[in-house]
Amino acid sequence: MNIVLVGFMGSGKTTLARMLSKKHGFRFVDTDKLIEKKERMTISEIFSLKGENYFREVERQVIDDELCFCDNCAIATGGGMPCFFDNMEKLKTLGWVVFLKAPFDVILDRVKGSSKRPLFKDVEKAKELYFKRIGCYSKAHFTVEVSGSKEKVLEKIEKFIFRGYGESYN
């Protein structure tokens, strides 16, 4: 069984996937790190040198060529990964897909001042993208509101995955 975390940047995907892997013996997988290793450059470099379309194709290849072999993995996806091509449908075949839903203001607080988040240099564009992607993320198997401590959010995920119920089911 795999657990695939989706959501906007700053929603806690990497942190919570790491926590799940430590607590339950899952292998931790960060799709952005897989892409950086595969391409031998950072995500920012890929975007600036090869463009977003190229990056989205590489994301799709990672699902097809690498994630399909995951077993007992906690997978942190890139923020856009589920929103292109038929990626969400493919992710849903890998295991439970969890949408980590955080209000935009919470995300903004988490990422402001981070040089790793160049998208947030234009907050209005970031907000527009956030609302554009919500519909895509909502196609996950279930949604967890990212409020309270990360331990509480982890509990909500575990409640659904390991006991068969959650806040919402899509």
- CATH of residue 54: 3.40.50.300
* 168 domain-assigned: no
7 has which bridge partners? none
Both structure tokens of 130: 């956030």
* 170 domain-assigned: no
162: enclosing H helix or E strand = helix 150-163
Task: Give, as one character, the DSSP assignment of residue 77.
Answer: P
pLDDT band at 170 (very low <50, low <70, confident <90, very high): very low
Backbone angles phi, psi at 6, to 5 degrees: -125, 160
pLDDT band at 115 (very low <50, low <70, confident <90, very high): low
Mean pLDDT of 78-91: 97
Q: Is the pLDDT of residue 87 over 50?
A: yes
* 28 domain-assigned: yes
* 10 domain-assigned: yes
Q: Is the pLDDT of residue 169 over 70?
A: no
Amino acid at 48: S
pTM across the whole model: 0.93
* 139 domain-assigned: yes
% helix, strand, coil for the chain, step of 5? 60, 15, 30
The number of domains in the chain is 1
Q: 145 near 48, Cβ under 8 Å?
A: no
Structure confidence at residue 118 (pLDDT) = 60
| Domain interval for residue 33 | 3-163
* CA 77, chain centre distance (Å): 3
- % of the chain exceeding 70 in pLDDT: 92
Backbone angles phi, psi at 75, to 5 degrees: -110, 120
Mean pLDDT of 111-125: 76
Mean pLDDT of 108-114: 81
Q: Is the pLDDT of residue 50 over 90?
A: yes
Total H helices, total E strands in the chain: 8, 5
